[in-house]
Amino acid sequence: MDRQGNIINPSQDPQLPKETVLNYYQKMTLLNTMDRILYESQRQGRISFYMTNYGEEGTHIGSASALDPNDLVFGQYREAGVLMYRGFPLDLFMAQCYANADDLGKGRQMPVHYGCKDLNFVTISSPLATQIPQAVGAAYAFKRQNMNRAVICYFGEGAASEGDAHAGFNFSATLECPLIFFCRNNGYAISTPTNEQYRGDGIAARGPGYGMLSIRVDGNDVFAVYNATKEARRRAVAENQPFLIEAMTYRIGHHSTSDDSSAYRSVDEVNYWDKQDHPISRLRHYMTARGWWSEDDERSWRKQSRKTVMEAFEKAEKRLKPNPELLFTDVYDEMIPTLNKQKESMWRHVQQYKEHYPVDLYEK
Protein backbone atom coordinates (compact mmCIF):
# COMPACT_ATOMS: atom_id res chain seq x y z
CA MET A 1 0.00 0.00 0.00
CA ASP A 2 1.43 3.37 -0.99
CA ARG A 3 1.03 6.66 0.86
CA GLN A 4 -2.32 7.32 -0.83
CA GLY A 5 -3.68 3.94 0.29
CA ASN A 6 -3.43 2.31 -3.12
CA ILE A 7 -2.48 -1.37 -3.34
CA ILE A 8 0.82 -1.51 -5.23
CA ASN A 9 0.84 -5.23 -6.05
CA PRO A 10 -2.62 -6.85 -6.16
CA SER A 11 -1.09 -10.29 -5.57
CA GLN A 12 0.06 -9.08 -2.14
CA ASP A 13 -3.32 -7.67 -1.08
CA PRO A 14 -4.41 -9.76 1.94
CA GLN A 15 -8.07 -9.12 0.97
CA LEU A 16 -9.08 -8.51 4.56
CA PRO A 17 -12.81 -8.02 5.18
CA LYS A 18 -14.25 -4.58 5.91
CA GLU A 19 -14.85 -5.40 9.59
CA THR A 20 -11.20 -6.35 10.09
CA VAL A 21 -9.88 -3.22 8.37
CA LEU A 22 -12.22 -1.00 10.39
CA ASN A 23 -11.00 -2.71 13.56
CA TYR A 24 -7.41 -1.99 12.50
CA TYR A 25 -8.21 1.69 12.05
CA GLN A 26 -10.16 2.03 15.25
CA LYS A 27 -7.44 0.35 17.32
CA MET A 28 -4.70 2.49 15.74
CA THR A 29 -6.60 5.74 16.34
CA LEU A 30 -7.74 4.71 19.83
CA LEU A 31 -4.08 4.09 20.72
CA ASN A 32 -3.23 7.51 19.31
CA THR A 33 -5.95 9.15 21.42
CA MET A 34 -4.85 7.32 24.58
CA ASP A 35 -1.27 8.43 23.92
CA ARG A 36 -2.23 12.09 23.63
CA ILE A 37 -4.24 12.09 26.86
CA LEU A 38 -1.65 10.19 28.92
CA TYR A 39 1.22 12.25 27.51
CA GLU A 40 -0.57 15.43 28.60
CA SER A 41 -1.36 13.91 32.01
CA GLN A 42 2.37 13.38 32.57
CA ARG A 43 3.08 16.96 31.54
CA GLN A 44 0.51 18.07 34.13
CA GLY A 45 2.23 16.01 36.84
CA ARG A 46 -0.55 13.45 37.15
CA ILE A 47 1.63 10.44 36.26
CA SER A 48 5.40 10.14 36.50
CA PHE A 49 6.37 8.97 33.01
CA TYR A 50 5.02 8.06 29.59
CA MET A 51 6.10 6.85 26.15
CA THR A 52 3.97 7.49 23.08
CA ASN A 53 3.57 5.25 20.03
CA TYR A 54 3.02 8.00 17.43
CA GLY A 55 3.90 6.84 13.92
CA GLU A 56 4.44 3.18 14.81
CA GLU A 57 0.81 2.08 15.10
CA GLY A 58 1.00 0.06 11.87
CA THR A 59 3.77 -2.17 13.21
CA HIS A 60 1.69 -2.98 16.29
CA ILE A 61 -1.65 -3.74 14.70
CA GLY A 62 -0.35 -5.40 11.55
CA SER A 63 1.83 -7.84 13.46
CA ALA A 64 -0.61 -8.51 16.31
CA SER A 65 -3.40 -9.43 13.90
CA ALA A 66 -1.21 -12.03 12.17
CA LEU A 67 -0.56 -13.96 15.39
CA ASP A 68 -2.55 -16.66 17.13
CA PRO A 69 -4.00 -15.48 20.48
CA ASN A 70 -2.01 -18.26 22.19
CA ASP A 71 1.30 -16.98 20.84
CA LEU A 72 3.51 -15.44 23.51
CA VAL A 73 4.55 -11.79 23.21
CA PHE A 74 7.74 -10.26 24.61
CA GLY A 75 7.64 -6.49 24.14
CA GLN A 76 10.25 -3.81 24.64
CA TYR A 77 8.23 -0.79 25.79
CA ARG A 78 6.58 0.69 22.71
CA GLU A 79 4.11 -2.05 21.80
CA ALA A 80 0.95 -0.96 23.59
CA GLY A 81 -1.02 -1.44 20.37
CA VAL A 82 -0.26 -5.18 20.39
CA LEU A 83 -1.80 -5.51 23.82
CA MET A 84 -4.72 -3.28 22.84
CA TYR A 85 -5.42 -5.43 19.77
CA ARG A 86 -5.53 -8.52 21.99
CA GLY A 87 -8.28 -6.97 24.08
CA PHE A 88 -6.49 -5.28 26.98
CA PRO A 89 -9.05 -2.74 28.24
CA LEU A 90 -8.47 0.98 28.58
CA ASP A 91 -9.24 0.73 32.30
CA LEU A 92 -6.20 -1.51 32.81
CA PHE A 93 -3.91 0.66 30.65
CA MET A 94 -4.87 3.60 32.85
CA ALA A 95 -4.63 1.58 36.07
CA GLN A 96 -1.05 0.60 35.20
CA CYS A 97 0.02 4.14 34.37
CA TYR A 98 -1.57 5.45 37.57
CA ALA A 99 -0.31 2.47 39.63
CA ASN A 100 -3.68 2.18 41.31
CA ALA A 101 -5.36 -0.73 43.08
CA ASP A 102 -6.71 -2.15 39.79
CA ASP A 103 -3.24 -2.47 38.27
CA LEU A 104 -2.40 -6.11 37.48
CA GLY A 105 1.18 -5.39 38.56
CA LYS A 106 -0.03 -4.04 41.92
CA GLY A 107 1.62 -0.67 41.38
CA ARG A 108 5.17 -2.03 41.35
CA GLN A 109 6.17 -0.97 37.84
CA MET A 110 6.72 2.46 36.34
CA PRO A 111 4.15 3.58 33.71
CA VAL A 112 3.89 1.79 30.30
CA HIS A 113 5.37 -1.42 31.72
CA TYR A 114 2.28 -3.44 30.90
CA GLY A 115 1.77 -7.17 31.17
CA CYS A 116 -1.13 -9.61 31.06
CA LYS A 117 -0.90 -13.34 31.66
CA ASP A 118 -4.40 -13.99 30.26
CA LEU A 119 -3.46 -12.32 26.97
CA ASN A 120 -0.02 -14.01 26.77
CA PHE A 121 1.85 -10.71 27.02
CA VAL A 122 4.95 -10.88 29.23
CA THR A 123 5.43 -7.89 31.54
CA ILE A 124 7.74 -5.21 30.15
CA SER A 125 11.20 -4.83 31.67
CA SER A 126 13.11 -1.55 31.46
CA PRO A 127 16.63 -2.96 30.85
CA LEU A 128 17.22 -2.92 27.11
CA ALA A 129 17.11 -6.20 25.13
CA THR A 130 16.77 -8.55 28.12
CA GLN A 131 13.56 -9.84 26.54
CA ILE A 132 15.45 -11.24 23.52
CA PRO A 133 17.21 -14.23 25.15
CA GLN A 134 14.15 -14.73 27.38
CA ALA A 135 11.98 -15.07 24.27
CA VAL A 136 14.38 -17.65 22.88
CA GLY A 137 14.05 -19.74 26.04
CA ALA A 138 10.25 -19.57 25.86
CA ALA A 139 10.25 -20.55 22.18
CA TYR A 140 12.58 -23.47 22.86
CA ALA A 141 10.21 -24.66 25.60
CA PHE A 142 7.27 -24.49 23.15
CA LYS A 143 9.28 -26.55 20.69
CA ARG A 144 10.15 -29.18 23.28
CA GLN A 145 6.49 -29.43 24.29
CA ASN A 146 5.32 -29.53 20.65
CA MET A 147 2.68 -26.91 21.47
CA ASN A 148 2.11 -25.45 17.97
CA ARG A 149 2.72 -21.99 19.45
CA ALA A 150 5.11 -19.26 18.42
CA VAL A 151 6.84 -16.48 20.32
CA ILE A 152 7.21 -12.95 18.98
CA CYS A 153 9.87 -10.66 20.41
CA TYR A 154 9.76 -6.92 19.70
CA PHE A 155 12.76 -4.60 19.96
CA GLY A 156 14.20 -1.49 18.35
CA GLU A 157 17.21 -1.11 16.11
CA GLY A 158 19.12 0.36 19.06
CA ALA A 159 18.46 -2.74 21.19
CA ALA A 160 19.86 -4.82 18.32
CA SER A 161 23.29 -3.41 19.24
CA GLU A 162 23.12 -5.05 22.67
CA GLY A 163 24.99 -8.28 23.33
CA ASP A 164 21.71 -9.94 24.31
CA ALA A 165 20.57 -9.59 20.70
CA HIS A 166 23.58 -11.55 19.42
CA ALA A 167 23.05 -14.27 22.02
CA GLY A 168 19.35 -14.48 21.22
CA PHE A 169 19.82 -14.62 17.44
CA ASN A 170 22.49 -17.30 17.69
CA PHE A 171 20.71 -19.52 20.21
CA SER A 172 17.38 -19.32 18.37
CA ALA A 173 18.97 -20.39 15.10
CA THR A 174 21.08 -23.22 16.51
CA LEU A 175 18.24 -24.52 18.70
CA GLU A 176 15.72 -24.09 15.84
CA CYS A 177 13.09 -22.19 17.82
CA PRO A 178 9.61 -21.11 16.64
CA LEU A 179 10.34 -17.43 17.15
CA ILE A 180 9.67 -14.18 15.30
CA PHE A 181 12.16 -11.40 15.96
CA PHE A 182 10.34 -8.15 15.17
CA CYS A 183 12.61 -5.12 14.94
CA ARG A 184 10.90 -1.72 14.87
CA ASN A 185 13.49 0.38 13.06
CA ASN A 186 12.06 3.82 13.85
CA GLY A 187 15.12 5.89 12.97
CA TYR A 188 16.36 6.74 16.46
CA ALA A 189 17.57 4.92 19.55
CA ILE A 190 16.62 7.74 21.92
CA SER A 191 18.86 10.39 20.30
CA THR A 192 21.16 8.12 18.28
CA PRO A 193 20.23 8.06 14.56
CA THR A 194 20.64 4.89 12.52
CA ASN A 195 23.68 6.22 10.65
CA GLU A 196 25.51 6.28 13.99
CA GLN A 197 24.00 2.99 15.19
CA TYR A 198 25.37 0.67 12.49
CA ARG A 199 27.38 0.70 9.28
CA GLY A 200 25.89 -2.40 7.67
CA ASP A 201 22.61 -2.75 5.78
CA GLY A 202 20.28 -2.39 8.74
CA ILE A 203 19.04 -5.22 10.93
CA ALA A 204 17.48 -7.61 8.39
CA ALA A 205 20.88 -8.11 6.76
CA ARG A 206 22.16 -9.72 9.95
CA GLY A 207 19.77 -12.66 9.68
CA PRO A 208 21.70 -14.74 7.12
CA GLY A 209 24.84 -14.51 9.24
CA TYR A 210 23.00 -16.41 11.96
CA GLY A 211 21.31 -18.79 9.55
CA MET A 212 17.96 -17.02 9.92
CA LEU A 213 15.45 -16.05 7.28
CA SER A 214 14.83 -12.33 7.30
CA ILE A 215 12.79 -9.67 5.55
CA ARG A 216 12.61 -5.88 5.53
CA VAL A 217 9.12 -4.46 5.33
CA ASP A 218 7.47 -1.03 5.16
CA GLY A 219 6.36 -0.61 8.77
CA ASN A 220 3.92 2.17 7.85
CA ASP A 221 1.98 -0.24 5.62
CA VAL A 222 -0.21 -2.24 8.00
CA PHE A 223 -1.02 -4.81 5.31
CA ALA A 224 2.65 -5.40 4.47
CA VAL A 225 3.39 -5.90 8.16
CA TYR A 226 0.46 -8.33 8.42
CA ASN A 227 1.65 -10.36 5.41
CA ALA A 228 5.24 -10.57 6.64
CA THR A 229 4.28 -11.55 10.18
CA LYS A 230 1.74 -14.13 9.01
CA GLU A 231 4.30 -15.88 6.81
CA ALA A 232 6.96 -15.63 9.51
CA ARG A 233 4.63 -17.28 12.01
CA ARG A 234 3.72 -20.04 9.54
CA ARG A 235 7.37 -20.89 8.98
CA ALA A 236 8.28 -20.57 12.65
CA VAL A 237 5.65 -23.11 13.71
CA ALA A 238 5.71 -25.45 10.69
CA GLU A 239 9.50 -25.56 10.29
CA ASN A 240 10.74 -24.74 13.82
CA GLN A 241 12.94 -21.88 12.75
CA PRO A 242 13.33 -18.26 13.78
CA PHE A 243 12.44 -15.43 11.43
CA LEU A 244 13.74 -11.84 11.57
CA ILE A 245 11.47 -8.98 10.47
CA GLU A 246 12.78 -5.42 10.19
CA ALA A 247 9.86 -2.98 9.96
CA MET A 248 10.97 0.43 8.71
CA THR A 249 8.96 3.16 10.42
CA TYR A 250 9.46 6.49 12.20
CA ARG A 251 9.14 7.58 15.80
CA ILE A 252 7.14 10.81 15.52
CA GLY A 253 6.99 11.48 19.25
CA HIS A 254 9.83 12.08 21.67
CA HIS A 255 11.53 8.93 22.95
CA SER A 256 9.70 9.46 26.22
CA THR A 257 8.55 12.27 28.47
CA SER A 258 12.17 12.46 29.68
CA ASP A 259 13.35 13.36 26.19
CA ASP A 260 13.29 16.50 24.02
CA SER A 261 13.86 15.31 20.47
CA SER A 262 14.12 18.87 19.13
CA ALA A 263 17.70 18.76 20.39
CA TYR A 264 18.72 16.21 17.77
CA ARG A 265 16.24 16.39 14.86
CA SER A 266 14.39 19.12 12.99
CA VAL A 267 10.71 19.99 13.21
CA ASP A 268 10.53 19.72 9.41
CA GLU A 269 11.72 16.12 9.56
CA VAL A 270 9.07 15.16 12.11
CA ASN A 271 6.34 17.04 10.22
CA TYR A 272 7.21 15.23 7.00
CA TRP A 273 6.58 11.81 8.52
CA ASP A 274 3.53 13.01 10.43
CA LYS A 275 1.84 14.63 7.43
CA GLN A 276 3.19 12.69 4.43
CA ASP A 277 3.80 9.11 5.53
CA HIS A 278 1.70 8.14 8.55
CA PRO A 279 0.32 4.58 8.89
CA ILE A 280 -3.06 5.87 10.10
CA SER A 281 -3.56 8.25 7.16
CA ARG A 282 -2.53 5.52 4.70
CA LEU A 283 -5.17 3.18 6.05
CA ARG A 284 -7.78 5.92 6.09
CA HIS A 285 -7.12 6.64 2.40
CA TYR A 286 -7.56 2.92 1.67
CA MET A 287 -10.92 2.79 3.50
CA THR A 288 -12.20 6.05 2.03
CA ALA A 289 -11.47 4.87 -1.52
CA ARG A 290 -13.69 1.83 -0.90
CA GLY A 291 -16.52 3.79 0.66
CA TRP A 292 -15.90 2.20 4.07
CA TRP A 293 -15.20 5.46 5.92
CA SER A 294 -16.46 9.00 5.62
CA GLU A 295 -15.85 12.39 7.22
CA ASP A 296 -18.94 11.85 9.36
CA ASP A 297 -17.60 8.46 10.49
CA GLU A 298 -14.29 10.12 11.35
CA ARG A 299 -15.86 12.89 13.44
CA SER A 300 -18.16 10.47 15.23
CA TRP A 301 -15.40 7.96 16.01
CA ARG A 302 -12.94 10.62 17.19
CA LYS A 303 -15.55 12.02 19.56
CA GLN A 304 -16.56 8.57 20.82
CA SER A 305 -12.98 7.33 21.29
CA ARG A 306 -11.92 10.44 23.19
CA LYS A 307 -14.96 10.12 25.45
CA THR A 308 -14.12 6.46 26.14
CA VAL A 309 -10.50 7.23 26.95
CA MET A 310 -11.43 10.16 29.19
CA GLU A 311 -13.91 8.01 31.14
CA ALA A 312 -11.18 5.42 31.83
CA PHE A 313 -8.74 8.23 32.68
CA GLU A 314 -11.06 9.84 35.22
CA LYS A 315 -11.89 6.49 36.80
CA ALA A 316 -8.21 5.59 37.21
CA GLU A 317 -7.33 8.95 38.71
CA LYS A 318 -9.97 8.60 41.44
CA ARG A 319 -9.08 5.01 42.32
CA LEU A 320 -7.13 4.26 45.53
CA LYS A 321 -3.51 3.11 45.40
CA PRO A 322 -2.63 -0.54 46.20
CA ASN A 323 -2.23 -1.65 49.81
CA PRO A 324 1.39 -0.84 50.83
CA GLU A 325 1.80 -4.36 52.25
CA LEU A 326 1.78 -5.68 48.67
CA LEU A 327 5.38 -4.47 48.56
CA PHE A 328 6.32 -7.63 50.44
CA THR A 329 4.22 -10.23 48.62
CA ASP A 330 4.72 -12.45 45.56
CA VAL A 331 8.38 -13.20 46.22
CA TYR A 332 8.03 -16.08 48.67
CA ASP A 333 5.09 -18.46 49.11
CA GLU A 334 5.11 -17.66 52.82
CA MET A 335 6.43 -14.47 54.38
CA ILE A 336 9.97 -15.03 55.70
CA PRO A 337 11.19 -13.43 58.97
CA THR A 338 13.37 -10.79 57.31
CA LEU A 339 10.49 -9.54 55.17
CA ASN A 340 8.23 -9.43 58.22
CA LYS A 341 10.81 -7.25 59.97
CA GLN A 342 10.98 -4.95 56.96
CA LYS A 343 7.21 -4.65 56.86
CA GLU A 344 7.04 -3.80 60.56
CA SER A 345 9.83 -1.26 60.12
CA MET A 346 7.95 0.36 57.24
CA TRP A 347 4.78 0.81 59.30
CA ARG A 348 6.75 2.27 62.24
CA HIS A 349 8.31 4.77 59.86
CA VAL A 350 4.94 5.66 58.32
CA GLN A 351 3.42 6.22 61.79
CA GLN A 352 6.35 8.32 62.92
CA TYR A 353 6.20 10.58 59.86
CA LYS A 354 2.52 10.19 58.99
CA GLU A 355 2.21 13.81 57.86
CA HIS A 356 4.29 12.78 54.82
CA TYR A 357 2.34 9.58 54.05
CA PRO A 358 -1.33 10.03 53.05
CA VAL A 359 -2.35 6.46 53.90
CA ASP A 360 -6.01 7.30 53.28
CA LEU A 361 -5.21 7.27 49.56
CA TYR A 362 -4.24 3.58 49.77
CA GLU A 363 -6.39 0.49 50.06
CA LYS A 364 -6.51 -1.02 53.52
Instruction: Name the residues annotated as catalytic.
Output: 40, 126, 255-256
If we measure between CA atoms, which residue out of 25, 67, 86 comes closest to residue 279?
A: 25
Q: How far apart are CA 189 and CA 298, in angstroms?
A: 33
SS3 245: strand
Q: How far apart are CA 359 and CA 286, in angstroms?
A: 53
SS3 152: strand
Q: How far apart are CA 270 and CA 249, in angstroms?
A: 12
What length does the chain have?
364
165 Cβ neighbours under 8 A, 6+ residues apart: 129, 132, 155, 159
Using alpha carbons only, what angle is made at residue 242 by residues 238 and 248, rounded to the nearest 5 degrees?
120
If we measure between CA atoms, which residue out of 294, 293, 348, 300 comes closest to residue 324?
A: 348
SS3 15: coil
Q: Per DSSP, what are the bridge partners of residue 154?
A: 182
188 Cβ neighbours under 8 A, 6+ residues apart: 158, 194, 251, 255, 261, 264, 265
Distances (CA, A) of 30 to 139, 146, 162, 242, 337: 31, 37, 32, 32, 47
SS3 labels along 197-211: HCCCCCCHHHHHHHC
Buried b (16+ CB within 10 A) or exposed e, 3-32: eebebeeeeeebeeeeeebbebbebbbbbb
